[in-house]
Structure 1
């Protein structure tokens, strides 16, 4: 055999490993799971709730991690698929004997020998183990898709909650600023009355105390706004001091879906329910894999052997042609027929695991229904509070105008005016809180239904 022929012979197994198997197992990449490359946000950019949510979905590290987990599970699926195809292995070695091999006084080999073996193995029947393993890997990928969706829903809820708290904080700041301005004006009037002897010093001191209290409330409201802005920047993977302007207003729009519609949506779309269903199916595949030990394992083999007295396993002077180069094919059957109940009890354990996971899925479904019902009740409560709070604000403002006019006309007391001003601040804060609570309840309701709604648009 020529050197060229020998090199070709050696290259066949290597080409098989490098080209054939990857070609069988390669699929198109999952573009949807590829982590997105986020563009930087310029200073002074304006982001509404929808844009903020989209930025978070693109850049938040938790979402990026979930996308990488999904890509990894796709590789696991391909790895399980590859096990269906034949595997190739080869070995090459050198052996030195302490004496020349002889048989009946005739030399039958060399003290130094070189051997090369090549094996091709194809599994034919594995008791459904390979099939179930692949199906389980595919389910794991689908489960990671649902986990990615669940992570996105959780992030949307966090961003919307922080965004709504920021809008509420800005309204509280505006209310506190108005309160401070009213109290400053009131202090000036009270001071003027005191200087001409129309009011006692007590009225001035009370006005000063109320003004200082309002200024402290204003500082707290401004700090809350700064805190919520920093939290939003963190959720959106932006620098803490990023100069982003979050825009939006708290408003009320009635929710028109019924409880039955919401429950139907939740049972169909909630990712935790789909994750639970995949977990049950994966446990069933594990049970099938365990039961595969009941069945015989069948495979086919092709073997090629070559030996010689030089490193390229060339011709040998002392080996016959059959010993120097040969090949064979065969079928192999292996069946473990008795293991003292090991397989039986392992299979029984796997079936109990299936029942356990199925019961946990039933519990998750019950909790899903409760979350939808609870979300609707919270939203209805906040909606009712909005109507009451709006009337309260109108009444409080009118009461303040009347108290101010009576005080300036010297027919009302300073205490009445301070109380009226305090009522305005409280009623405005209650309205701000009711509007924010309604929007947060709406956000929680959409998440409990498994539905993405980045801009909280009423559908």
Structure 2
């Protein structure tokens, strides 16, 4: 009864397993990747910073209110014509106010509208820097999508490869079990020695160990794929795919090199880093120049109460100039540091160009190498299959030793594994080459 229930459970699990193709896995990864979500938020931050930089060039409205204390009370003014002491302020009733009794403090309240006129390039530099930073965030978002796509292809193809390896190992195990059973019968009939049986048992243990290892690899890669695609709670069945032949024939390496150096993500990010450093240098230089602002303010001053500050309100306007003329060379040092950072980014841009050339050349060479290796591994597999078929017949006829037969079987098993790896590596190498052009 337990066996029947177990079979029914396996059948139900297989029935509800989700079939997943490589294209579907890539699409799900792009939609569910947490790394892409983080890059998307960083891109939004870049857009907000750029908008904020533009707004620094617009007028600002501020309210200013304060209470201050003075060292002395307000002094009386003396009339020059009569030579007598006159009180300068008159109350609303027409009587003189005695300033000697006024307090040593007062309230001010005003609304100020300020418009930057000249900031030494700080505003323009801030806008250029924010624009470069926003571009970097946008490019990093695309780069993250590129990397997630490549990682998904790697994980998916690894699982397919390990499943094929597992199939080859299980086939090998069945073949060895058949030979082991035959050898036990032969040993009982004293047609072979026990050493032959032990050699087969060693080979069986080795295969069983490899099966456990490959199953673990499948489980780990499947877990990673489920996390990346957001399908943690589903059983997945991956659809096999075929790797085309002669992928290198569609590659124009010289043209791709120009594309990679001018418009690839790595090249554009490096160039925008230079632009950002240049903008930072402009902002640092502006700190040593005067700042000019036009302003309009409306408000008043009152000694008695904050509520009365707008009883004597008035409009004022003008231009304010501020210039930090001496700060022990701090502003100059900031500019020099920013200038050195700019030079560093220009060198990094040159390094990025060199790395692009090296990486693209390496990736192209790897495609060519693995293309030839795949052909070689296919030929090796075909030869191993033919040799194993011949050696099996010879072994059954007693014309081949147990060790030679086991060597032939191990060679076939390894040839299958090597071909699976060469095919997967070939696909990933081609996709990695393409990713360098994005």
Q: What range describes the TM-score normalised by the shorter chain of this pair?
A: 0.7 to 0.9
* 1:154 alignment counterpart: 147
How many residues were matched structurally? Answer: 401
Q: Name which of 163, 187, 207 aligns with 1:170.
A: 163
Q: 1:349 and 2:344 equivalent?
A: no
Query: How many angstroms apart in 2 are the aligned matches of 1:177 and 1:82?
Result: 68
* 1:265 alignment counterpart: 259
Query: How many angstroms apart in 1 are the aligned matches of 2:98 and 2:41?
Result: 60
Measured against aligned partners, the alpha-carbon deviations of 1:336-361 in whole angstroms (never above 9, x if no partner) come to 55666554444333223212110111
What is the deviation of 1:424? 0.6
Measured against aligned partners, the alpha-carbon deviations of 1:186-214 in whole angstroms (never above 9, x if no partner) come to 22332333334433333333222222222
Measured against aligned partners, the alpha-carbon deviations of 1:71-115 in whole angstroms (never above 9, x if no partner) come to 112111121111111111123456899999673343177769764
Q: 1:85 and 2:75 equivalent?
A: no
Larger Rg: 2
What is the deviation of 1:173? 0.2
Q: Name which of 275, 281, 306 aligns with 1:287.
A: 281
| Aligned partners of 2:125 and 2:282 also within 8 Å | yes
| Aligned partners of 1:372 and 1:448 also within 8 Å | yes
Alpha-carbon spacing, 1:434–1:335, altered in 2? closer, same or farther (3 Å):
same
User: Any residues of structure 2 matched to 1:198-347 within 5 Å, and which?
Assistant: 198-239=191-232, 242-249=234-241, 251-255=243-247, 256-307=250-301, 312-313=307-308, 324-336=312-324, 341-347=329-335
Measured against aligned partners, the alpha-carbon deviations of 1:255-314 in whole angstroms (never above 9, x if no partner) come to 220321321232234322211111111111112122224543221111112356665438
Question: After alignment, is 115-124 or 99-108 more displaced?
Answer: 99-108
Query: How many angstroms apart in 1 are the aligned matches of 2:309 and 2:132?
Result: 51
What is the deviation of 1:158? 2.1
Alpha-carbon spacing, 1:212–1:99, altered in 2? closer, same or farther (3 Å):
closer
| Aligned partners of 2:300 and 2:310 also within 8 Å | no
CA-based RMSD: 2.8
- SS of aligned partner of 1:412: coil
Question: After alignment, is 103-112 or 241-250 more displaced?
Answer: 103-112
* 2:13 alignment counterpart: none
Unaligned runs of 5+ in 1: 1-42, 317-323, 451-459
* 2:5 alignment counterpart: none
* 1:6 alignment counterpart: none
| Aligned partners of 1:92 and 1:115 also within 8 Å | yes
Alpha-carbon spacing, 1:284–1:421, altered in 2? closer, same or farther (3 Å):
same
Alpha-carbon spacing, 1:327–1:178, altered in 2? closer, same or farther (3 Å):
same
| Aligned partners of 1:101 and 1:108 also within 8 Å | no
Query: How many angstroms apart in 1 are the aligned matches of 2:70 and 2:351?
Result: 70
Q: Name which of 379, 383, 397 aligns with 1:409.
A: 397
Alpha-carbon spacing, 1:402–1:99, altered in 2? closer, same or farther (3 Å):
closer
Alpha-carbon spacing, 1:273–1:216, altered in 2? closer, same or farther (3 Å):
same
Query: How many angstroms apart in 1 are the aligned matches of 2:377 and 2:68?
Result: 94
What is the deviation of 1:55? 1.7
What is the deviation of 1:130? 0.7
| Aligned partners of 2:18 and 2:234 also within 8 Å | no
* 1:107 alignment counterpart: 97
Measured against aligned partners, the alpha-carbon deviations of 1:360-416 in whole angstroms (never above 9, x if no partner) come to 110111011111111111121111111111111111111111111122223333223
Unaligned runs of 5+ in 2: 1-15, 77-85, 88-95
Calculate the TM-score normalised by the size of structure 1. Answer: 0.79
Calculate the TM-score normalised by the size of structure 2. Answer: 0.83
